Every structure is written in C-alpha cells, then in structure tokens.
Amino acid sequence: MNTEKVIFAFFIILAATLNFGFFLGEIHDAQHHNVYELFAALVISLIATVMKFGDRTHLGAVLLATSLVADFQLIVAACLWGYGTNISDTGLDGELVASVVSMSGGALLANMISVVLLVVETITVRR
C-alpha cells in the first residue's frame, strides 16, 4: 500500500465530506450551518490543493483545477460569512446565509468531481 496515495485520497475525501456537512440544512437558516465546519472545509480543501501541485499528468491538472474552484468558492463563502457577522448592518440574514450555502454547494460539486476523478484513476491503474 502506498502511504502517499492514502494520505492524498484521505484529504480529497475529507474536503468533500466536510463541505457536504456544512452544505446540509435549510439554505437560509444560519443555525443549520456551522461556521467552524466551513472553516475546516476551507483549510482541508487548501491542504488538498497543495498536495495536488506535484502531479504533472493531465488528470492531475484537472484535479488541481477542481480543487482551485472549490478553494475559490469556499473563500468567497467565508468572506461573505465574515461580512455578515462583522461588517453588515443587517447581520447574517437569510439572504446572506443562502449566498454562503450556495457558494459552498458549488465547492461541493467541484469536490465531488475530484472524488469521481480519484475513483476513476484508481480503477484504471494497472499493477
């Protein structure tokens, strides 16, 4: 068993599952979406992105692109959350929470594409 591949797959799948956990719930209700889970999803996604930089294959480039998309959307979601809690006069209202969750949903889709590509790569590898 290749330990490097296990750690690589672990971070890709962990990024997707943390993002999924944040995404679940009523789209406009901040009580259903934990800010610490959003933070964890962002940090793990960034770690997964750094791990993808060494791959020079075409599939590696696509995996990196999906990870960068997820990172971008999670960063925007975190910025929106921060704006709502620290700057906005209305606070973290339903409309802003819906925007945060929508951005997280886009990142979730990018993470799911990464997981599917990881599974396809694993299936096609010959010994």
pTM (two decimals): 0.92
Q: How many domains would you assign to the chain?
A: 1
Q: Tokens standing for 85?
A: 């809690």
Structure-token pair, residue 64 = 């990196």
- State the pLDDT at residue 127: 58
DSSP string spanning 48-99?
HHHHGGG--SHHHHHHHHHHHHHHHHHHHHHHHHHHHHHT-SS-S-HHHHHH
Q: What is the pLDDT along the chain (127 residues), one digit of tens a residue?
A: 789 889 999 999 999 999 999 999 999 998 999 999 999 999 999 999 999 887 888 988 999 999 999 999 999 999 999 999 999 998 899 999 999 999 999 999 999 999 999 999 888 876 5
What lies within 8 Å, CB to CB, of 49 at 6+ separation is 64, 67, 68, 70, 71
What domain range is 17 assigned to? 3-124
- By the 8 A CB rule, do 42 and 22 touch? no
